[in-house]
A and B are shown apart, each in its own frame.
Chain A
Amino acid sequence: MRKTIALLLAGGVGSRLNVLAQVRAKPAVTFGGNYRIIDFTLSNIANSGIENVGILTQYKPYSLMKHIGTGAAWDFIGRSRRAKILPPKTGLKDNDWYRGTADAVAQNFDFINRFKCERVLILSGDHIYYMNYLDLVDFHKAHKTQLTIATRVVSPEMAPEFGIAQVDENYKIIHWEEKPRVPRSNLASMGIYLFNTDFLRECLQQAEGHDFGKNVIPWVLEQREAYAFPFDAYWQDVGTIKAYWDANMDLINPNSGLNLEHWKIRTNPIEEEMKRDRIPTYLASRARVSNSIISQDCQIFGEVVNSIISPGVIISEGARVIDSVVMHDTFIGENTTLRKTIVDKNSYIGDNCFIGYGNASTPNKRYPKHINSGITVIGKAARIKPNIKISRNCLVFYGVDFKCFQQHEYEAGSTIYSETAEIPF
């Protein structure tokens, strides 16, 4: 697969993931215990035998760069195998930040030129799926096309979120619309584009605008043709709090089609700043764990049901964690209950708290579009005082401290905010 190189657009801001993506780029958000979202795309690239990948970063790249390291975790190491981080750079003008996906690729065309490759596979780092990109390349070659877009059937209500294609019987795209208000089909673009290199160069030089979905693809369909590769296995865009939680829960649903073991998804679990390696997880004599994913280095004294637990989490005696996602090194105090809650890394939840109580469906008052499905979200390194009750659709900002809690009880839709909190690392 030397003839194809991959470019991974990992600059995504991911604003709908709210606090989870305010401290890191969206592809670096933790998923499934000890993975990050980008691991799926990186593992797909490696498992497809593609040996060179450029990773375009822009927004808060620190976590991401640290995570990718040398690329050795995905075997991108050797004289002709590499994962290169491509940071943004200033062009002739002073302020040449990427103006869109196509612009990001155009600004890094020198990386592509270096490989004399026949094809460029353009990917985004924010989906949970397994795909052998060789199937896509075979399809591309069989149709003798210059551009193939991977597509998947989505539910009609989701369709307005995507680029939507209409195809003929040979999967040739006959109509395309980016995020249509009234979609003509339910065949959605997965944001995966396979271009012949020369054609990609021509498109980027000639098409107006800076975005593949909005500008480049419509231009291609006017001038030439493009094909839609049909994909029908598990695929989840984890761009919203609800979708993120759903995809995590799919890990413990045997019928979901999401199976990390079969997919050989790899991650880089080595945390440079740790002097020790994370140790095995201890389940105490009174621990009760059921239908859950438990990572290494946890200490579980309480109860865990239908939950996804990242490394280093401590769940104290009498604590109950239900339908929740708890990230690295978070502490959950004695007799505290968590229900349908996402807790980011390094948080501290004191004794006798109840997070996610009640049945009220009031959306979050501050971010009604982000937090509205009953899930409460606790940001990175938040410290929740003992004896606090927080209901559903609530948001606790990263870095919130004990002194931010003026009440004992927060009704559904509340936000607990800190004016002074800095983004924690």
Chain B
Amino acid sequence: MKKIVAMILAGGRVNELGVLTLYRPKSAVPFGGIYRVIDFPLSNLMHSGISKIGILSQYRSTSLINHIGVGEAWDFVGRNRGASILPPFKGEMDADWYLGTADAVYQNLNFIYDHNPDLVLILSGDHIYKMDYQPLIKYHLDQQADLTAVFKRVPAGEASRFGLARFAEENDFGGPLKAYDEKPAKVTSQWASLTIYLFNTRVLIEVLKENHEHAQSFHIGKDIIPAMINRYRVFGYKFYGYWGYTQTIDEYYQTNMDILDKPSEFPLRNWEVRTNLCHRDIRDRMPAKITPTAKVTHSLIYNGCTIAGEVHHSLLFPGVKVEPGAVIRDSIVMFDTVIQKGARVSQGIIGSDVLIREQVTIGDDSSEPYETSDLISSNSGISVVGERTQLPPSLSIGKSCTIYPFLTENRFSNSHIRSGMIIQ
């Protein structure tokens, strides 16, 4: 049995998720009714029997640190197990923040030296998928590879957003790579990188040092892999399961809704995901209370919810209260948000601890035109309300609006917020 450690790149903020990631890294964003995004790779590691994990965090990591705790939720506790948060530190130069994924790993090489593994598995903390890493490890060893990266076939139209693999030869499992193109303008292949990298430790250290000393740019996808091809044994391993992205508001929304709408592709129940039930006191919540006036259909709810209104095709996190006459449709509502009497929310992503006062409407189907642009958070009409914001009674909010966190009722001077507006 080869000795292996995993490193999860969990620090990124990613602008596209906007207000959801103002106060936490992307990997700590709530997902799927009780989870955080990072629960998915962590649970995969647990079920794959990999229990030495370094989590690289950089951006506002309090929420992530709270969530991981001592790693007990994933059984990472014991003399030979552990989930360590590796925070950035000041180097000899004062501004040594991570300059890219390769740099982040480079700056934490000590973690690897400490454990002295044969293999290092590098994952990112922001994808929704179920994978047993053991067959990948076996493939890597069988091929005597130095690096095996994981790829999934995507539609040609979407491929240019990803790192793309060109196989020198391939079978159902994968094959050696002849080229790797990071987000090319012109699509060169439909095999998109899932940013799962399995390295031989010796080679990883070698290429990171070389990159650190000679390069101007420090990313595993963009810099390290292309430079390794032809010099090392670089393989691609094919993945065929469900893969959910959470990069943009629209993707985040869609991946959540896939739990409801695509249960055969995304069977959450069978995925054996664990989360930290102590975080936000999930474990202490009483079961959901559904009153005689409530109507709940095609939705996910959890303990701590009190529902007296209507909820359709939505995900409610623990502690959400829906008062009589309120209607929630096609929405994601996070922890402990209150939706008061007569309020209507359609196609909303509502952060935690938000107060939606009576008769507020969000995303109402007015025929109001609005232009899609790079500035707005969603091109499919989804409005986002940041955590702890309070929306005053009867406020109407259009589609694709972005409302910042921590706003109080008196911040809203108009009774209507046009579609596409950003309020901060």
* A residues apposed to B, CB below 8 Å: 32-34, 73, 252, 260-261, 264-270, 275-277, 279-296, 308-310
18 CB-based A-B contacts, threshold 8 Å: A73-B283, A260-B286, A265-B286, A269-B277, A276-B271, A276-B272, A276-B274, A277-B274, A283-B299, A283-B300, A283-B301, A286-B297, A288-B295, A289-B290, A289-B296, A294-B287, A296-B303, A309-B287
Contact of A292 among B47, B272, B274, B290 (CB under 8 A): B290
Contact of B273 among A279, A285, A289, A290 (CB under 8 A): A279
| Bound complex: CA A250 to CA B284 (Å) | 20
* Chain A residues positioned under 8 Å from B298 (CB to CB): 283-285
User: Min CB distance, A343 to chain B, in Å?
Assistant: 16
Contact of A291 among B277, B284, B290 (CB under 8 A): B290
Given contacts A33-B287, A279-B273, A280-B32, contact A290 B294 (CB under 8 A): yes
Contact of B302 among A264, A287, A296 (CB under 8 A): A296
In the complex, which residue of chain B has the Cβ closest to the Cβ of A293? B287
| Bound complex: CA A276 to CA B286 (Å) | 20
* Chain A residues positioned under 8 Å from B292 (CB to CB): 290-291
Query: Interface 1/0s, chain B 282-316, versus A by CB < 8 A?
Result: 01101111111011111111110000000000010
Residue in A252, A283, A285, A293 with the greatest tally of chain B CB atoms within 10 Å: A283
* Chain A residues positioned under 8 Å from B383 (CB to CB): none
| Bound complex: CA A291 to CA B271 (Å) | 31
Q: When the two chains form their complex, are residues A269 and B283 in contact, meaning their CB atoms are under 8 A apart?
A: yes
* Chain A residues positioned under 8 Å from B288 (CB to CB): 281, 293-295
* Chain A residues positioned under 8 Å from B296 (CB to CB): 283, 287, 289
User: Min CB distance, A314 to chain B, in Å?
Assistant: 11
* B residues apposed to A, CB below 8 Å: 32-34, 43, 47, 73, 260, 268-269, 271-275, 277, 283-284, 286-292, 294-303, 315
| Bound complex: CA A295 to CA B303 (Å) | 6
Q: When the two chains form their complex, are residues B297 and A287 in contact, meaning their CB atoms are under 8 A apart?
A: yes
| Bound complex: CA A115 to CA B85 (Å) | 39
| Bound complex: CA A303 to CA B396 (Å) | 35
User: Min CB distance, B59 to chain A, in Å?
Assistant: 26
* Chain B residues positioned under 8 Å from A289 (CB to CB): 290, 294, 296
User: Min CB distance, B15 to chain A, in Å?
Assistant: 29
Q: When the two chains form their complex, are residues A281 and B300 in contact, meaning their CB atoms are under 8 A apart?
A: yes
| Bound complex: CA A286 to CA B298 (Å) | 8
* Chain B residues positioned under 8 Å from A292 (CB to CB): 290
Residue in B43, B271, B286, B291 with the greatest tally of chain A CB atoms within 10 Å: B286
| Bound complex: CA A73 to CA B299 (Å) | 29
| Bound complex: CA A285 to CA B269 (Å) | 18
User: Min CB distance, B128 to chain A, in Å?
Assistant: 14
Contact of B297 among A276, A284, A293 (CB under 8 A): A284
* Chain A residues positioned under 8 Å from B33 (CB to CB): 279-280
| Bound complex: CA A135 to CA B315 (Å) | 42
User: Min CB distance, B275 to chain A, in Å?
Assistant: 6
User: Min CB distance, B136 to chain A, in Å?
Assistant: 20
Contact of A294 among B34, B260, B277, B290 (CB under 8 A): B290
User: Min CB distance, B323 to chain A, in Å?
Assistant: 14
Q: When the two chains form their complex, are residues B302 and A280 in contact, meaning their CB atoms are under 8 A apart?
A: yes
* Chain A residues positioned under 8 Å from B268 (CB to CB): 279
| Bound complex: CA A282 to CA B266 (Å) | 14
Q: When the two chains form their complex, are residues A282 and B300 in contact, meaning their CB atoms are under 8 A apart?
A: yes
Contact of B272 among A32, A275, A282, A285 (CB under 8 A): A275
Contact of A280 among B272, B297, B300 (CB under 8 A): B300
User: Min CB distance, A327 to chain B, in Å?
Assistant: 12
| Bound complex: CA A32 to CA B32 (Å) | 25
Q: When the two chains form their complex, are residues A291 and B297 in contact, meaning their CB atoms are under 8 A apart?
A: no
In the complex, which residue of chain B has the Cβ closest to the Cβ of A286? B297
| Bound complex: CA A346 to CA B320 (Å) | 29
Q: When the two chains form their complex, are residues B269 and A279 in contact, meaning their CB atoms are under 8 A apart?
A: yes
Q: When the two chains form their complex, are residues A275 and B47 in contact, meaning their CB atoms are under 8 A apart?
A: yes
| Bound complex: CA A309 to CA B290 (Å) | 11
* Chain B residues positioned under 8 Å from A296 (CB to CB): 287, 302-303
Known: A34-B287, A279-B34. 11 other contacts (CB 8 A): A33-B287, A252-B289, A266-B283, A267-B283, A270-B283, A277-B273, A277-B274, A280-B32, A280-B33, A293-B288, A293-B290
Given contacts A292-B290, A293-B287, contact A276 B301 (CB under 8 A): no
In the complex, which residue of chain B has the Cβ closest to the Cβ of A275? B272
The 5 closest A-B pairs by CB, nearest first: A280-B33, A33-B287, A276-B272, A280-B300, A295-B287
User: Min CB distance, B283 to chain A, in Å?
Assistant: 5
| Bound complex: CA A264 to CA B272 (Å) | 29
| Bound complex: CA A129 to CA B115 (Å) | 52
In the complex, which residue of chain A has the Cβ closest to the Cβ of B43? A276
User: Min CB distance, B229 to chain A, in Å?
Assistant: 39
User: Min CB distance, A35 to chain B, in Å?
Assistant: 8
* Chain B residues positioned under 8 Å from A265 (CB to CB): 286
In the complex, which residue of chain B has the Cβ closest to the Cβ of A287? B297
| Bound complex: CA A281 to CA B318 (Å) | 11
